[in-house]
Amino acid sequence: MNIDHIEAFLYVVHYKSIHKAANALFLSQPTVTARIKSLERELNVELFHRDGRSVILSDKGKDFLPFATQIVQTFQQGKKQLEETQETDEVCIGTNGVTAQYFLAYALPKWKESYPHLRFQIVTGSTNIILEKLQSHQIHFGLIQYVHREGIGNELLLSNAVKLVMHREHSFQQNTLIKVRELAQQKMVFFECGAFDWNYVHKLFEVEGVTANIEVRTDHLEVAKEFIRTKEYMSFLPHLCVKKELESGEFVEIDVKHLLDMNQHIFLTYNNKDTLAPAFWEKVIETAEQFESGYEKID
């Protein structure tokens, strides 16, 4: 029994017209008529009485109607269930620009090694925007700061503390814990963008009644890093974006933990883990651990 034939029967019953049913189904009238006749031959009954352009449901048609309705409803429910549970070949991730540029650029190639069939879409935006997309099922998961919302899960994934960094050949020599007034004398490039509350940095100087020597402001992390490479500037930057340079020794961290402890944890945020294979979620966690440890995990 063809499900399309049964669906055509239900549309004709609803509209009481083959012509109107055909329009609703985006089919030609002869096609709908043919489907009804095929169903009648298969059931060996007459489902409708024809009266010119009108069709009237027969007694046998009335008997068949509840069964036809149940068949189509069950089919649609089964189809929807399969669509929701089948593994997707595209994973949509929502995050801020820093995490996308520095963590996902590292992680995605590793995910592709384990899941070569997967394709990825990265959506960047604020935490609120990503949360909205998560709740409306536009993305599979977010890499954002912690959110407290009913039905939303959060798992700590990465630490992204703010670091004060300079080039290894910068003239500044830190022999003791740096003081705010001493720091205020250094040339700085200031990055003012992203999820961090940079007011904490400004307050650091305001409390001491001094003004930071900010010669350059930028909303681009790589621009800030290029100024550091001139060996004349310092900058407060998220750890994710300078991790590679700190590990290689190109940049060095100036200890300011006694002055400022500014951390922004990044959480793996989701509302339904069943949308992706359990092994993939494990791979995401494993990759984050490798990224933070600074070495390749050996199996």
Does 21 map to a domain?
A: yes
Please report whether residue 298 resides in a domain: no
Q: Are residues 55 and 198 in the same domain?
A: no
- Confidence at residue 45, expressed as pLDDT on a 0 to 100 scale: 93
The whole-number pLDDT of residue 262 equals: 76
Q: Would residue 259 count as lying in a domain?
A: no
Which pLDDT does position 193 carry in this prediction? 66
DSSP 3-state assignment of 257?
A: coil
Q: Which of these three, 69, 85, 101, is where a domain ends? A: 85
Boundary (domain end) residue, out of 66, 85, 104: 85
Task: State whether residue 195 is helix, strand or coil.
Answer: coil
pLDDT given for residue 111 in this prediction: 94
Same domain membership, residue 80 and residue 44? yes
Question: In this structure, are 248 and 279 located in the same domain?
Answer: no
Tell me, what's the pLDDT at 299? Answer: 34
46 domain residue, yes or no = yes
pLDDT at residue number 79: 74
Output the pLDDT for position 84.
Answer: 55
Distance, in Å, from the CA atom of 85 to the CA atom of 87, rounded to the nearest integer, reads 6
Q: Which runs of consecutive H residues, i.e. helices, occur in the chain?
A: 3-15, 18-25, 29-43, 59-85, 97-99, 105-114, 127-135, 180-183, 199-207, 221-228, 239-248, 278-293
**Which residues of the chain have a pLDDT value below 70?**
53, 81-88, 193-197, 295-299
Q: Are residues 80 and 123 in the same domain?
A: no
**Cα separation, 124 vs 132, whole angstroms:** 12
The pLDDT assigned to 198 comes to 74
Count the domains in the chain.
Answer: 3
Are 119 and 180 part of one and the same domain? no
24 and 70 fall within a common domain: yes
- Cα–Cα distance for residue pair 266/243, rounded to 1 Å: 15
Determine, yes or no, domain membership for 299: no
Helix axis angle for 29-43 and 18-25, nearest 10°, is 110
The verdict on residue 248 lying in a domain is: yes
Q: What is the CATH number of the domain that holds 22?
A: 1.10.10.10
Query: What is the reported pLDDT for 257?
Result: 86
Asked if residue 192 and residue 140 are part of one domain, the reply reads no
Q: Which domain holds residue 238?
A: 162-254
Q: Is residue 176 part of a domain?
A: yes
